[in-house]
């Protein structure tokens, strides 16, 4: 019996395939993903669709529609390993700001307008079960989600204030119930569908050249502890039975250059760390109509601070808060930028006075081109929004500034960016040689540039022109 057990154990050890590569993700590595995970969750929750609410109480009839989530304030968000499970994403004591459109009929009184509301004490607990699928990819096989909104508040104003107070209990109770029901299905779809579709893009088997391929398959489910996630990969080469020729582009070019999102991200990160992404718009650089709108918007604030500031110049200070990120898809490339916009008064000979601070989020289309040896990018503003760092109510007050600020970006700031990016980055080529007939094709995560080569100088001409810079050889003996 003992010999049988030993034989079976030995056979099991022999049949287990040894990994060609082990990868360990530590808690420090997970910390880098926490911000992106939080931002992803925020974006998904902002897209929650809330159905219209209708009701009747005595002589009161109400309709609540066009519910929009304006801001999520995730006070505490944590991403950590869950032993024997995978990952745990935890949100505690956070809040959600919403706006509704109201239609109220109270006997013969009719009222239409907006309502600002907030959901407080939002707690979300999501566990992601990480496993290996049949193809050898890392996947989220299941999720568990618990979400709860502790309380909800609505701010009412207008001639029917007493009616609104009576209506508040119906609205907040109903909206809190709906939010509780909507959060987990939204996050389950984000994990099991969206994130898994992203994991599908990770190659399992691919060709190295026309002779061999490589297998990156995950051999078993990841091993998760409280401080790490370990994965065993096959990483073995294999012969290709059928030789195929692969082309990235439909055009036959002499040279192909592949550039990933990381290439552009690293460049923007370097400029961000160098402090280039900051700018002040004031005095002659400030459009007159924008200056007038800013003074009107913050008239009350200026009068409360110091009426003498009314004649001082007003300025906008823009500072990018995080390194811009590039996303490349088959439809093209975009760059996402988040910046802090500060409105300042500049009294002569005194310290600048801050009136307000807001967050700007912009998305720009990026068109990549190559001319000669230079790789250049041209930017166009695609999407733009601003919101207050203080409250959702102040964000509503900033709506009149959206259009003028977007125009200022298009006219004043985007051209400055393009003046820098059109100078381009030089691709290393020998002197006297340039790229011609360039073709750019966008793929998911990278771009391919195909080009032919053109000699602008003969080899001899290049050699002779550089001979004077070459070190002289010692004289040969006769």
Digit-coded pLDDT (tens) for 171-199: 667 667 777 777 888 888 888 887 887 77
At residue 250, φ and ψ (nearest 5 deg) are: -85, -5
Q: Which two tokens stand for residue 117?
A: 């509301």
Dump the DSSP string for 257-310: EEEEHHHHHHHHHHHHHTT-SEEEEEGGGS-HHHHHHHHHHTHHHHHHH-GGGG
CA torsion through residues 43, 26, 82, 232, sign: positive
Which residues share a beta bridge with 126?
A: 89, 145
**CA distances (Å), origin 363, targets 280, 319, 352, 360, 433:** 20, 16, 30, 10, 36
Q: Radius of gyration over alpha carbons of the chain, in Å?
A: 30
Predicted pLDDT of residue 62: 75
Contact by Cβ (8 Å): 125, 145: yes
Q: Is 190 helix (H, G, I), strand (E, B) or coil?
A: helix
pTM of the full structure: 0.47
Measure the CA–CA gap between 317 and 341, rounded to whole angstroms: 6
48/188 Cα distance (integer angstroms): 13
Asked whether the beta carbons of 106 and 160 are under 8 A apart, the reply is yes
- Write out pLDDT tens, residues 380-401: 988 888 887 676 666 676 777 7
Phi, psi of 373, rounded to the nearest 5 degrees: -110, 5
Our measurement of the distance from residue 393's CA atom to the centroid of its chain's CA atoms, rounded to an integer in Å, reads: 25
Distance between CA atoms of residues 180 and 148, nearest Å:
6
CA angle at 182 for the pair 181 and 187, rounded to the nearest 5°: 120
Give the chain's length.
478
Using CA of residue 187, residue 188, residue 193, residue 198, what is the dihedral sign?
positive
Residue 292 burial (CB count, 10 A): 12
Sheet holding 236-239, edge to edge: 205-207, 212-215, 236-239
pLDDT at 192: 85
pLDDT of residue 338: 92
The H or E element that residue 236 is part of is strand 236-239
- Position 417 scores a pLDDT of 85
- Helix 161-189 to helix 27-46 angle, to the nearest 10 degrees? 130
Residue spans of the chain under pLDDT 70:
1-21, 29, 32, 57-58, 106, 156-172, 174-175, 208-214, 235-256, 389, 391-395, 397, 428-433, 453, 455-478
- Cβ atoms of residues 183 and 158 within 8 Å: no
Give ∠ CA 386-387-392 in degrees, rounded to 5. 155
Question: Quick one: which of 410, 377, 379 has its CA closest to 290?
Answer: 410
Task: State whether residue 375 is helix, strand or coil.
Answer: strand
Sequence-separated (6 or more) residues with CB below 8 Å from residue 194: 44
- One DSSP character per residue, 11-70 reads HHHHHSPPPSEEEEEEHHHHHHHHHHHHHHHHHHHHT-----EEEEETTEEEEEEEEEEE
Per-residue burial over 261-277, b if 16 or more Cβ lie within 10 Å, else e, is: beebbebbeeebeeeeb
pLDDT of residue 364: 92
């Amino acid at each position: 019996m003992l010999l049988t057990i030993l034989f079976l154990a030995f056979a099991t050890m022999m049949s287990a395939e040894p990994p060609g590569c082990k990868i360990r993700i530590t808690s420090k590595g997970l910390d880098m993903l926490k911000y992106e995970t939080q931002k992803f969750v925020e974006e998904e929750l902002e897209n929650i669709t809330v159905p219209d609410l209708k009701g009747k109480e005595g002589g009161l009839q109400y309709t609540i529609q066009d519910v929009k989530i304006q801001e999520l304030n995730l006070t505490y968000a944590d991403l950590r390993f869950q032993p024997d499970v995978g990952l745990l994403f935890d949100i505690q004591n956070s809040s959600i700001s919403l706006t509704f459109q109201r239609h109220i009929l109270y006997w013969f009184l009719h009222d239409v307008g907006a309502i600002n509301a907030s959901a407080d004490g939002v707690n979300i607990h999501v566990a992601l079960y990480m496993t290996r699928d049949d193809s050898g990819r890392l996947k989220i096989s299941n999720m568990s989600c618990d979400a709860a909104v502790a309380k909800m508040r609505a701010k009412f104003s207008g001639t029917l204030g007493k009616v609104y107070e009576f209506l508040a209990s119906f609205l907040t109770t109903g909206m809190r119930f709906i939010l509780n029901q909507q959060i987990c299905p939204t996050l389950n779809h984000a994990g099991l569908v969206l994130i898994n579709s992203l994991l599908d893009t990770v190659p399992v088997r691919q060709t190295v050249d026309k002779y061999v391929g490589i297998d990156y398959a995950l051999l078993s489910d990841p091993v998760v502890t409280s401080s790490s996630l370990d994965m065993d990969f096959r990483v073995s080469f294999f012969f290709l039975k059928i030789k195929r020729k692969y082309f990235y582009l439909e055009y036959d070019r002499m040279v192909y250059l592949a550039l990933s999102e990381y290439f552009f991200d690293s460049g923007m990160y370097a400029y961000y760390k160098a402090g280039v992404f900051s700018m002040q718009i004031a005095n002659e650089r400030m459009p007159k109509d924008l200056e007038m709108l800013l003074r009107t918007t913050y008239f009350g604030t200026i009068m409360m601070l110091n009426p003498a500031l009314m004649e001082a110049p007003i300025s906008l200070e823009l500072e990018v808060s995080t390194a811009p990120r590039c996303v490349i898809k088959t439809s093209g490339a975009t760059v996402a930028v988040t910046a802090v916009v500060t409105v300042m008064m500049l009294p002569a000979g005194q310290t600048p006075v801050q009136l307000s601070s807001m967050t700007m989020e912009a998305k720009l289309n990026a068109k990549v081109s190559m001319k000669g040896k230079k790789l250049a990018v041209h930017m166009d503003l695609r999407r733009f929004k601003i919101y207050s760092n203080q409250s959702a109510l102040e964000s509503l007050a900033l709506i009149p500034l959206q259009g003028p600020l977007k125009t200022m970006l298009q006219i004043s700031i985007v051209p400055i960016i393009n003046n820098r990016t059109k100078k381009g980055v030089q691709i290393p080529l020998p002197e006297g040689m340039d790229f011609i007939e360039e073709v750019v094709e966008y793929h998911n995560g990278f771009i391919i540039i195909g080009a032919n080569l053109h000699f602008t100088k003969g080899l001899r001409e290049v050699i002779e022109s550089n001979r004077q810079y070459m070190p002289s050889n010692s004289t040969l003996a006769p």
